[in-house]
Amino acid sequence: EVQVVESGGGLVQPGGSLRLSCAASGFSFGSFWMTWVRQAPGKGLEWVANISPDGSEKYFVDSVKGRFTITRDNAKNSLFLQMNSLRAEDTAMYYCARDHSYWGQGTLVSVSS
């Protein structure tokens, strides 16, 4: 069974950093693009970033460029999102997805003083 499970969310002050993780199982992790999507409270979905199977290609939404980094460890079937210089508008549920097909339950990030 394909599963992706996010972790690492929490409350952080503006300007702070947080690292999200996504543990994958049930498929050949190193063969698939992986994606992060977020959803602010009461709002729609926003595509954040994705990374190619070998990690050589990475793409970001304009609003997080220069602040967020996406990486993966294929040996550990894990995806990461390093979030720096966090702002209040980054407050959201963050979802990990295998390409855009299998989605996790999400991890909540709150940026507030």
Partner 1 sequence: QAVVTQEPSLTVSPGGTVTLTCASSTGAVTTASSPNWIQQKPGQPPRALIFSASNRYSWTPARFSGSLLGGKAALTLSGAQPEDEAEYYCLLLDSGAQAWVFGGGTKLTVL
* Residues numbered 36-75 forming contacts with partner 1, rule: CB under 8 A: 37, 44-47, 50, 59-62
Nearer to partner 1, 7 or 14 (CB): 7
Tokens at residue 21, please? 């993780």
Q: How far is the CB of 5 from partner 1 (least distance, A)?
A: 11
Closer CB to partner 1, 12 or 50, in the complex = 50
Rounded CA separation 81/60 (Å): 11
- Alpha-carbon distance 64 to 73, whole Å? 21
103 binding partner 1? (CB under 8 A):
yes
Closest-CA residue to 78 (of 17, 34, 18): 34
Could you say whether residue 79 binds partner 1 (CB under 8 A)? no
Query: Do the beta carbons of residue 86 and residue 18 sit within 8 Å?
Result: yes
> Does 105 engage in binding with partner 1 (CB under 8 A)?
yes
Q: Do the bridges between strand 102-103 and strand 92-98 make them parallel or antiparallel, or are there none, so unpaired?
A: antiparallel
Asked if 5 interacts with partner 1 (CB under 8 A), we say no
Binding site for partner 1 (CB under 8 A): 35, 37, 44-47, 50, 59-62, 95, 97, 100-106
